[in-house]
Chains A and B, each alone.
Chain A
Amino acid sequence: MPRLLTTYFGEIDFADASVFQFPHGLPGFETEHAFVFLRQPHTEPLMFMQSLTDPKLCFILLPILVADPRYRVNFDKEDIAELKLEPGRQPRIGEDILCAAILRAGDAEHPDPTVNLMAPVVVNLKEKIGMQVIQPESGYSHREPLFPRLETLPCS
């Protein structure tokens, strides 16, 4: 099994089947074409999107439905084609696609963590290809506060 040096978990074994291709990379990281998504019991529900070529590049993600349980995908047909998803319908989160928001942990300038719900990372689970889907008309911000959103949800 191939080994991989990671940003947060040291050296790990990974299966080739767990590698996702990003043909265009991500904005700002256009030359990064392959990532693995790491989840660990002690870091649930976070996901770590580790570059296969740069051990120092790892995005921390939150599954989109954890970030916002009411989130609905509404991709346009170009994005659906790019992701090689079935045309003519919206993909289902968890069945057809993995959909997660890049998390920005707090820093001195912005102490509260935010998630980019305007541009989720989406991967086609069957074809193993992914992209960051930028949706300016979604009504979501690239910097949605994480905790106010979670903490103001009504109890059910």
Chain B
Amino acid sequence: MLVMRRRAGESFMIGEHIEIEVLEMTGSRVKLGIVAPEEFVIVRKEARITRDENLTAARKVDPTAITALLHRLAR
């Protein structure tokens, strides 16, 4: 992993077209500004993780698996 120190107001580039600027720091939070071409989808990592988890959880569960689950929950 590349590690870089930046102050508020400073930025860095990823390739030719993506710029990320550190806008503000408050406590443990950092506010970033991102400039990127439209074709790049930018999402928070936890939103991506939640999406992937939702897609898996939405698959139909076999009734026998539900029954097994209920037995374990009832213990």
Interface residue ranges, A against B (CB under 8 Å): 7-8, 26-29, 43, 45-46, 56-60, 66, 102-107, 113, 116, 118-119, 132, 134, 136, 142-143, 147, 150-151
Give B residues with C-beta under 8 Å from A: 44-61, 63, 65-66, 69-70, 72-73, 75
Known contacts: A27-B47, A27-B50, A28-B52. The answer to whether A104 contacts B57 by CB under 8 A is: yes
Contact indicator A56/B55 (Cβ below 8 Å): no
A132 touches B50 (CB 8 A): yes
A contact patch SS: mixed
Kindly report which residue of chain A lies nearest to residue B61, judged by CB atoms.
A105
Given contacts A56-B60, A105-B66, contact A45 B73 (CB under 8 A): yes
What residue in chain B is nearest A115 (Cβ atoms)?
B57
Q: Given the known A-B contacts A45-B73, A105-B66, A106-B65, are A119 and B50 also in contact in the complex, defined by CB atoms under 8 Å? A: yes
Chain B nearest CB from A99 CB (Å) reads 15
The CA-CA distance from A150 to B54 in the complex, in Å, is 22
CB distance from B65 to the nearest CB of A (A): 5
Q: Which residues of A contact B50 (CB under 8 A)?
A: 27-28, 116, 118-119, 132, 134, 142
CA distance A142 to B51 in the complex (A): 11
Q: Write the nearest CB–CB distance from B55 to chain A, whole angstroms.
A: 5
Query: Once the chains bind, are A118 and B54 in contact (CB under 8 Å)?
Result: no
Whether B55 pairs with A28 at a CB distance below 8 angstroms is: yes
A28 in contact with B54 (CB, 8 Å): yes
| Pair A102/B61 contact, Cβ less than 8 Å | no
Within the assembled complex, what's the spacing in Å between the Cα atoms of A102 and B58? Answer: 9
- Distance in Å: Cβ of B56 to nearest Cβ of chain A: 6
Query: 9 tightest CB-CB pairs across the interface, nearest first?
Result: A27-B51, A28-B51, A136-B46, A28-B54, A105-B61, A119-B50, A104-B57, A27-B50, A28-B55
| 29 residue pairs bridging A and B, Cβ less than 8 Å apart | A8-B63, A8-B66, A26-B54, A27-B51, A28-B51, A28-B55, A28-B58, A29-B58, A43-B66, A46-B69, A59-B54, A66-B73, A102-B57, A104-B57, A105-B61, A105-B65, A113-B69, A116-B50, A116-B57, A118-B46, A118-B49, A132-B54, A136-B45, A136-B46, A142-B46, A142-B49, A142-B50, A150-B73, A151-B75
